[in-house]
Homo-oligomer: A and B are copies of this chain.
Amino acid sequence: MFDCVAVVGATGAVGREFIQLISQRGFGAKRFKLLASARSAGTAVRVNGHQLTVEQLDPSSFDGVDLAFFSAGGSVSKTYAPAAVRSGCVVVDNSSAFRMDPNTPLVVPEVNPDDVKSHSGVIANPNCSTIIMVVPLWPLHRENPIQRVVVSTYQAASGAGQAAMHELEQQTRHVLDAKPVVPRLMPFQYAFNLFSHNSDIGDNGYNTEEMKMINETRKMFHCDDIRITATCVRVPVMRAHSEAINIRFARPITPDEVRAILAQAPGVTIVDQRDPQHFPMPIEASGIDDVLVGRIRRDISEPDGCSIDMFVCGDQLRKGAALNGIQIAELLAQSR
Binding site for B on A (CB under 8 A): 148-150, 152, 154, 168-169, 172-173, 176, 187-189, 192-196, 198, 201, 204-206, 214, 227-229, 231, 233, 235-238, 242, 244, 246, 255, 274-277, 279, 281-283, 294-303, 307, 309, 311
Please, which residues of chain B bring their CB within 8 A of the CB of A229? 246, 299-302, 307, 309
Q: How far is the CA of A154 from the CA of B193 in the complex (A)?
A: 10
Which of B193, B214, B307 interacts with A281 by CB under 8 Å?
B193
Q: Is the CB of A198 within 8 A of B154?
A: no
Q: Is there an interface contact between A201 and B275, defined as CB atoms closer than 8 Å? A: yes
With contact pairs A176-B173, A235-B235 given, residues A194 and B297 touching in the complex (Cβ less than 8 Å): no
- A193 near B311 (CB under 8 angstroms)? no
Distance, CA A255 to CA B205, complexed state (A): 9
- With beta carbons under 8 angstroms apart, the residue of B154, B205, B227, B303 that contacts A302 is B227
Copies of the protein in its oligomer: 2
- Complex Cα distance, B192 from A172, in Å, reads 10
Contact A301 B148 (CB under 8 A): yes
**A192: contacting residue among B196, B205, B206, B237, CB under 8 A:** B237
User: Beyond the given A192-B283, A198-B277, A206-B300, could you list 14 further A-B residue pairs with CB under 8 A, ordered by the A residue number?
Assistant: A150-B301, A154-B194, A154-B233, A187-B276, A192-B237, A193-B281, A193-B283, A195-B279, A206-B297, A229-B246, A231-B244, A231-B246, A231-B295, A233-B242
Nearest CB in chain B to that of A147: its residue: B301
Q: 4 tightest CB-CB pairs across the interface, nearest first?
A: A205-B297, A152-B152, A227-B301, A152-B244
Q: Knowing A154-B154, A205-B296, say if A279 contacts B309 (CB, 8 Å).
A: no
Please give me the residue from chain B that is nearest to A299 by CB atom: B229
Give the docked Cα–Cα distance between A298 and B297 (Å): 27
In the bound complex, how far is the Cα of B233 from the Cα of A233, in angstroms? Answer: 13
Residue of B with least CB distance to A232: B244
Nearest CB of B to A136, in Å: 15
User: What chain B residues lie within 8 Å of A187 (beta carbons)?
Assistant: 276-277
Which chain B residue shows the least CB distance to A227?
Answer: B301
**Residues of chain B within 8 A of A152, CB atoms compared:** 152, 231, 244
Which residue of chain B is the closest to A181 with respect to CB atoms?
B283
Chain B CB count within 10 A is highest, among A152, A176, A201, for: A152
Q: How far is the CA of A188 from the CA of B313 in the complex (A)?
A: 15
Would A214 and B300 count as touching, CB distance under 8 A? yes
Cα–Cα, bound, A231→B38 (Å): 46
Say whether B300 contacts A201, CB under 8 Å: no
Task: Give the complex CA separation of A190 and B303 in angstroms.
Answer: 35
Q: Which of B237, B294, B297 contacts A193 (CB 8 A)?
A: B237
